[in-house]
Amino acid sequence: MINLYATQLESISVHRVGNKHRGEPLFLSETTFPLNDEINGLLKEYFFKPFREKEENYFRLHHEAGLEFNPIWEAAQKVFQAPDQLHSASRSIATHLFDKSNHPHIKNGECYVVHMTDVLLDNERVDALGIFKSEIKQDFLQFREKEGNLDMLIKQGVNLMRLDKGCLIFNKEAEEGYKILSIDSNRYDAKYWIEEFLGLEPLTDENFYTKNYLKFCQNFAKDVVLPAEDKQQEVLFVNRAVNHFAKNDTFEESNFLNEVLDNPELIPEFKHYKSERGPKYSIEDVSSFQIANKAVSDSRKKIKNVINLDTHIQIKLDFINPESAEKFVEKGWDEERGMYYYLVYFNQEQKS
């Protein structure tokens, strides 16, 4: 988990990277950009906001022939060992980005390379290397006084509320390819940033396995539990799965299945589904791992625990306590009306 509140931008270099395929140039600045308090505050918000809002999916740098052949890993090593080499490293990074900008869909833009300190990562203070790119320009109006009137000028510039691409390389686990967060707001060239430029692969830690296993459970509930039983049991299975993760520090698949699957006939269905769909989530050979609490909390927020009925009625089940939904909600069939019904028991209505 990261906290960027106290993070300081120590130095920054800015270059302009054109599209090599279209014959656009690469412009490399001669020196670092001089920071002041005003622009420092604006850039921190511009660079960090997407990482505060986005789910934490960690990556690491990778290269088939060895990490030393990954230009970003080499540049990060240079900066972390000697921060005064930031500008030299930034020129190498921008040149590498230019070399990878050879597809007609890739937009030109500014490349910012930043050395920062006092990043709180998993309760440990580390420094980090930030690489960011602004691509999409927006029109804005600028006014000036001219001959007794206000003259209106249309300009183009970078919207500081929207970062197009960025990554944070934390000075941790260097020999494994560092611990990295990446964002990309533009999905039309996803492989260009993650794979071709940075050379990233998912970091398969407890956060990765916790998140992916819960995503897998949601799809199992939709594809198997719902057709075999009903919407109520689909919602309850997902609820029980999340609660099992929330109250345990270590995941053991056999314990999970015995506790979460009420219907024993679904256990072989679960195993078969995992053998078929597990590779999509990289969990096909995983049956035990440490549970990441942050990933459980993130997954809980995204799961919908609502039954939508075709009579324009919604039934929201208690996500924290699925047992109450099983105890106080009954499903039946009304012969006279020819319709299903839900019977809900309660003592009194809660005040909103």
Helix pair angle (293-302, 206-220), 10° resolution: 30
**Which is nearest to 249 in space by CA: 289, 297, 300?**
289
Per-residue pLDDT tens for 77-94?
999 999 999 999 999 999
Give me the mean pLDDT over the 301-326 stretch.
73
Q: What is the largest CA-CA distance in the chain?
A: 84
| 282 pLDDT more than 70 | yes
Task: Tally the C-alpha atoms within 13 A of residue 268's C-alpha that lie toward its C-beta.
Answer: 1
Mean pLDDT, residues 260-266 taken together: 85
CA distance 282 to 204: 9
Task: Give strand pairing partners of 114.
Answer: 12, 130
- The token duo for 293 is 């609490």
Over residues 135-151, the pLDDT tens digits come to: 999 999 999 998 889 99
Q: Rounded to whole angstroms, how far apart are CA atoms 297 and 193? A: 28
Q: What is the dihedral of CA 220, 223, 229, 234, to 10 degrees?
A: 50
% pLDDT > 90, the chain: 60
Nearest 5 degrees, angle CA 135-CA 138-CA 140? 150
What's the pLDDT at 17? 97
Helix (H) or strand (E) holding 224: none
Q: Specify the DSSP class assigned to residue 26.
A: E
**3 state SS of 8:** strand
Q: Give the H/E segment covering residue 144.
A: strand 137-146
- The pLDDT assigned to 320 comes to 59
| Whether pLDDT at 212 is above 80 | yes
pLDDT band at 45 (very low <50, low <70, confident <90, very high): very high
pLDDT at 187 over 80: no
Identify the pLDDT of residue 322.
Answer: 58
Please say if the pLDDT value at position 319 is more than 60.
Answer: no
Over pLDDT 70: what percentage of the chain?
A: 96
Instruction: End-to-end CA distance of the chain: give it in Å, rounded.
Output: 34
The per-residue pLDDT for 341 is 86
Region 38-47: mean pLDDT is 95
Mean pLDDT value across the chain: 90
> Kindly report the CA angle at 210 between 264 and 272, in degrees rounded to 5?
35
Q: Say if residue 110's pLDDT is above 90.
A: yes
